[in-house]
Copies of this chain bind each other. A is one copy, B any other.
Amino acid sequence: MTSPAVYRFPVPPLAEMPDDIRSRIEGVQEKSGFVPNVFLALAARPDEFRAFFAYHDALMEKDSGLSKAEREMIVVATSAANQCQYCVVAHGAILRIRAKNPLIADQIATNYRKADITPRQRAMLDFAMKVSREAETVGDSDFDALKTHGFTDDDIWDITAVAAFFALSNRMANVTAMRPNDEFYLMGRLPKA
């Protein structure tokens, strides 16, 4: 299911995984046509796998004042700053699909200040980058700036939590040398036939 060079740590055979984990992986395989390597990389640690994806889903799949595309923008911008190849490539693909925009992921990954986004989204990413890079300096004026763009306290929590979760994810991916699946690179770049 993956080459032995995929990451620094061994992947357990599918047959040896706990049922719930194997089942989630088979579901993703069926839906997407391939298994994103993050599922394989974390399967060696079932408890961490479960917590990781529970956290991920709680942030990325639920209803929110931020659209799903906006949440992916946060992932791509902060993961690029952390030089996380897996997250930039994989979530770049998801962002292109969710935003229905084939250019947006590369724009945000290289310099989000020059991307085709709204001023509200720019303010969101400025804050997310501050959370990701120097959260210790976040203060009242940062909250005020977001509120002038109409963000609620719940939205601000969401921006924070997405940036914080991928601070974790980027570090796991970089140290384990998690490799983005080849499939991600082209996803969302071509017009639907």
B-binding residues in A (CB < 8 A): 8-9, 44-45, 47-48, 50-52, 54-55, 57-59, 62, 80, 82-85, 88-89, 92, 102-103, 106-107, 109-111, 113-115, 131-132, 135-139, 143, 153, 156-157, 160-161, 163-165, 167-172, 174-177, 179, 182, 185-186, 189-190
Given contacts A164-B169, A167-B167, 4 further A-B contacts (CB under 8 A): A51-B52, A135-B175, A160-B176, A186-B190
Is A135 a contact partner of B170 (Cβ separation < 8 A)?
yes
Is B47 a contact partner of A54 (Cβ separation < 8 A)?
yes
Query: Once bound together, how far apart are the Cα atoms of A110 and B136, in whole Å?
Result: 10
Query: Once bound together, how far apart are the Cα atoms of A97 and B53, in whole Å?
Result: 32
Is A157 a contact partner of B47 (Cβ separation < 8 A)?
no
Smallest distance from the beta carbon of A165 to chain B beta carbons, Å?
Answer: 6
Smallest distance from the beta carbon of A170 to chain B beta carbons, Å?
Answer: 7
Please report whether the interface of chain A is mostly helix, strand, loop or mixed according to DSSP. helix
Which listed residue (B51, B102, B164) contacts A172, Cβ 8 A?
Answer: B164
Is B54 a contact partner of A171 (Cβ separation < 8 A)?
no
Residues of B within 8 A of A45 (CB): 58, 157, 161
Query: Once bound together, how far apart are the Cα atoms of A102 and B180, in whole Å?
Result: 13
Given that A102-B185, A111-B85, A171-B132 are contacting pairs, would A51 and B47 also be in contact in the complex, using a CB cutoff of 8 Å? no
Q: Quick one: closest B residue to A174, CB to CB? A: B135
Smallest distance from the beta carbon of A144 to chain B beta carbons, Å?
Answer: 12
Residues of B within 8 A of A57 (CB): 47
Given that A47-B62, A131-B171, A160-B176 are contacting pairs, would A185 and B113 also be in contact in the complex, using a CB cutoff of 8 Å? no
Q: Which 8 A-B pairs have the closest CB atoms?
A: A83-B136, A51-B55, A47-B58, A164-B171, A135-B174, A168-B168, A51-B54, A83-B111
